[in-house]
Amino acid sequence: SVFRLVEEHKRQKEEALKKILQLETQLDTKQTLEMQIQELKGKLQVMKHLGDDDNDGVKLKIKEMNDELDDKKSELEELEQMNSVLMTKERQSNNEIQAARKRLIS
């Protein structure tokens, strides 16, 4: 019984570590996306100020950049939702680990 609890504790700890690594990876991805979004916003501002509104090429480029910006924002929102789910699961795993630890000590 104690051996089973130790094994369960070990398994839960490994799962928690995997989730932490996933969260760290997602954080890196999120930060990269945020930088890309800021860069696109800056480029769009430059294009709007420097571009001639009558130039179809400039209008097309601005539209493409706006579309890319929207895609990046959507990707960021999805990542934030997944991050929230993973953090909830990590908290649940942590609670389970604490409960298993208490059972081991008792």
Please answer whether residues 16 and 104 qualify as being in contact, where contact means their C-beta atoms are separated by less than 8 angstroms: no
Sequence-distant (≥ 6) Cβ neighbours of residue 56 within 8 angstroms? none
**Least confident among 21-25, 27-31, 91-95, 101-105:** 101-105
Please answer whether residues 19 and 89 qualify as being in contact, where contact means their C-beta atoms are separated by less than 8 angstroms: yes
- pLDDT value at position 92? 87
Q: What is the mean pLDDT of residues 70-90?
A: 87
Q: How far apart (Å, rounded) are the C-alpha atoms in residues 30 and 75?
A: 9
The CA-atom distances, in angstroms, between 39 and each of 33, 35, 50, 62, 65 are 10, 6, 16, 14, 11
Q: Total structural domains in the chain?
A: 1
Model confidence pLDDT, tens digit, residues 46-79: 877 876 666 777 778 888 888 999 999 998 899 8
- pLDDT value at position 53? 60
Q: How far apart (Å, rounded) are the C-alpha atoms in residues 48 and 53?
A: 8
pLDDT at 27 over 80: yes
Range of the domain at 81: 2-105
